[in-house]
Structure 1
Amino acid sequence: MAYRAPLTNHHADGSPCPAEHKHTSSCKPLHPDCPGRAYTQAICTCGGWEMKQSGKGYVNESRRRHLASHPKEPKVLRDLLRLDGS
């Protein structure tokens, strides 16, 4: 199984901060309706890992390390799954 851990950004009230809400490098919102990104979260589909921190880069690096810790599927199996639509 190919695991995923998508990054999601959130406002302080827990609501999602959509991709259209651009921010400066210091996380200040550029979108007029955005209260600001409070944290970034990643949850792995394996069910055994999640992270929620204010630093987007830190969450992304930890997410990559976690995903790399999962065993890789053989290429033949990946190709079969892709053909099957799974």
Structure 2
Amino acid sequence: MTHRAPLTNHHTDGTPCPPEHKHTASGKPLHPDCPGRAYSQAVCTCGTWTFKDRGKGYVNESRKRHVASHANPAAP
């Protein structure tokens, strides 16, 4: 089974921040109707892993590392 851990962005109230809401690298909104990205989150389809952090890049790297661990279960 191939596992996935899609990355999603969220506003401070927990609502999803749609992909069309573009941001600066620090999360400040470039879209007029967006309050800003408060955090990014990844949840794996394996059901045992989730990761949430303010840094989108950090979440993305952790997500990639986790999904790769399913391909090679002996990896740390």
* TM-score over 0.5 (shorter chain): yes
Unaligned runs of 5+ in 2: none
User: 1:35 — aligned with what?
Assistant: 35
Question: Following TM superposition, by how much is the alpha carbon of 1:11 offset from its aligned partner in structure 2, in angstroms?
Answer: 0.1
Write the letter of the residue equivalent to 2:27. Answer: C
Corresponding residue number in structure 1 for 2:68: 68
The structure whose residues are more often strand, as a share, is: 2
> Aligned residues, how many?
72
The ranges of structure 1 where at least 4 consecutive aligned residues each deviate by more than 6 angstroms after the TM superposition are: none
CA RMSD of aligned residues (A): 0.9
Give the AA of the match of 1:17.
C
Per-residue deviation, residues 7-27 of structure 1 (Å, max 9, x unmatched)? 000000000000110001221
**1:7 counterpart residue number:** 7
Higher share of residues assigned helix:
1
TM-score with structure 2 setting the length: 0.91
TM-score by length of 1: 0.80
- Structure exhibiting the larger radius of gyration computed from Cα positions: 1
Q: Which runs of 5+ in 1 are unaligned?
A: 73-86
Query: % of aligned pairs identical?
Result: 75
- 1:71 offset after TM fit, Å? 3.0
